[in-house]
Structure 1
């Protein structure tokens, strides 16, 4: 922990969590809010389906590209300037999207918007660990996770309501207002949590050295996979909601609310439980519990699809349980990633976010279209994504155990030295 005291915060704890969560969810919120207006944008601008898809692809590409640099910039320049610049750019590009009359400009502006939103998500994680010791950081990260889970679920409802009651431009005007509110909140309340004495030089050689050192750490990649990939076991259902809920279950759009409510409830309960476990339960044990809960949810989900006709009464609870398990473990795994590079927490957060965004993009663009028309395929894909995260977690645990084994002492002449067996 650096020497920036907690008392620099001028806001109460809950307001800190809201502000940091707003920064962290700005990226996914700005994606999900405009999706319900796709048809209206295409009709108004004379855009083809391919061009409309490019508005999303350009955003995701810009988001993934700049995620590599937001954290490193904040390690060198400080947290506040990077966040303020990122939110300001998001606000201006949102206004530009609302005013444009050409699909080409919309695609370009969405790319710039994607490049800006990652700053909040990446830097907010580093801020938490800058200021708080491990137990308090886990509690704060858990509070942030609650809002992180709510935002993507309510964003389509907000965007749909704005589109129906106004037009597609209202969605981007709304995002402009959101950007203004967050920028003012950061400017008034967010202290600079990285003092000059802890900052890193801003040079190409130094950045490359930092990325190379972190990139060689196998534990980093395994922890990033353990936190980023299982999220998609839940996100898969959100992305495929129109097919899963409408086509397969026969629900009306106004009934989709119950699905999103169950997902939100699972994340909230899991995040609250994670915060309460901080300092009471060993972090690794808590992560094991999270994976056990998700594995149980996947088993129930697959079994239900094999044995029962599809129905919300049994199909929604496993998704709720899966969301709960993910929310129990993700704050702890995220802090473990940041603590692998105490001097470069921003860079570690950047690379972790990049792994997560790439996983999200692959699931959204490749996996979801393949499985969203079959409930059984969705359940198997969700279980597979959870299994990838579980295997990554078990593998990094093996690396930790190997690194803590004592080195064997050289044998003296005529002496046999016993070597300790690996820990179970």
Structure 2
């Protein structure tokens, strides 16, 4: 796998990494238009269907902790094949579920499969590229991932129209099988055998302990994690806010969702080009200020009773654009000093970020006021925590970064 250049056009290996990284988000966004049909068919309150999303995020968080050590011991390819197998089987099982409890269970299993695509692509990128190049590659990877929030709800909506909500999960299973074949036939191992780590409990525990006490790693990880938490709060809360509160026709839900995704994509690509002239830490610093500004503005408008759909969309697009800068740069900076334990570091980073997402998703799904307040308050909290985490990491190491 030749990965020495990440300049546009994207090389095939990076496109494959983007598709794998998009698998987890695909399983989030694709079934959003089916929430109403699922609640009706399974005869449960819509809030229970929302919890299938939060449980998926929690599963993603926990599973990533396992894939990191496996990727450092056995290489990047075998754990990917294992994860894709789990994802495909669980997707079919979700489609066959007859009650909400079994659906939640299989969503957790599905997350344990999809987590491989969240951990290993970051490690593959850092196998080859330095911090600046990795930030550029992750920005390009976000281009592939960013298409998912545009296409997935539209694809899911069509699947529900042509079949049922179960068709969405069958389709996820087919995508998992296609990616399994692509990895098996096209991907080459990127981990040098000399850099493989033993799969020993003591060594793994030591790696995690070192990472948890590494100020810059934890600061940058949480900076990206709380930003991701805001994104997942938006994903979990957007059907309720757009469709129920503002009365948006479900057919137009994908368009509004896509506008916010487009802001994320555009900003991440601008950020990739700015990295030619500015260091990642400077871009992160400035983007986090905008992140806080846009979310506090949304919260203030909500508390004052002045919020409406156009103003909310403006704030949401500003938040997503800022996250397009925060996500790639925070990830690259977090992994910049973790060469000997990239798999474990990528796993812990992903787990903490998904945990932030799960908590934010639970907050939005359990707090109902009939206004956008649960969403805007959660976004403002996540953005503020992201800002503080970034400052914690930047303080002593600004020159070194």
Scaled by the length of structure 2, what TM-score is found?
0.88
5+ residue gaps, structure 2, are none
- The structure having more radius of gyration, on CA atoms, is 1
For 1:65, the equivalent position in structure 2 comes to 62
User: Does 352-361 or 364-373 show the bigger shift?
Assistant: 364-373
Are 2:327 and 1:330 aligned? yes
Aligned partners of 1:230 and 1:389 also within 8 Å: yes
User: Does 147-156 or 370-379 show the bigger shift?
Assistant: 370-379
Aligned partners of 2:229 and 2:358 also within 8 Å: no
For 2:257, the equivalent position in structure 1 comes to 260
Are 2:234 and 1:237 aligned? yes
Matches within 5 A, 1:362-381: 362-370=359-367, 373-376=370-373, 378-381=375-378
Change beyond 3 A, Cα 1:46–1:250: closer
SS in 2 for 1:13: coil
Matches within 5 A, 1:101-250: 106-250=103-247
Change beyond 3 A, Cα 1:75–1:295: same
Report the alpha carbon displacement of residue 120 of structure 1 after superposing the two structures with TM.
1.0
Matches within 5 A, 1:323-402: 323-370=320-367, 373-376=370-373, 378-400=375-397
1:194-228 alpha-carbon deviations (Å, 9 max, x no partner): 01101101111211121122122132222111001
Change beyond 3 A, Cα 1:302–1:165: same
The 2-side partners of 1:268 and 1:116 are apart by 26
Residues paired across the two proteins, number: 399
SS in 1 for 2:115: helix
Report the alpha carbon displacement of residue 399 of structure 1 after superposing the two structures with TM.
3.4
Report the alpha carbon displacement of residue 15 of structure 1 after superposing the two structures with TM.
3.4
Are 2:322 and 1:298 aligned? no
1:317-372 alpha-carbon deviations (Å, 9 max, x no partner): 22112111111122111011112311111101111111111111111112453266
Aligned partners of 1:372 and 1:378 also within 8 Å: no
Aligned partners of 1:243 and 1:372 also within 8 Å: no
5+ residue gaps, structure 1, are 405-424
Change beyond 3 A, Cα 1:306–1:110: closer
Matches within 5 A, 1:69-88: 69-88=66-85
SS in 1 for 2:367: helix
Change beyond 3 A, Cα 1:243–1:167: closer
Report the alpha carbon displacement of residue 185 of structure 1 after superposing the two structures with TM.
1.8
Over the residues paired in the alignment, what is the CA RMSD in angstroms?
3.0
Report the alpha carbon displacement of residue 53 of structure 1 after superposing the two structures with TM.
6.4
The 2-side partners of 1:46 and 1:379 are apart by 30
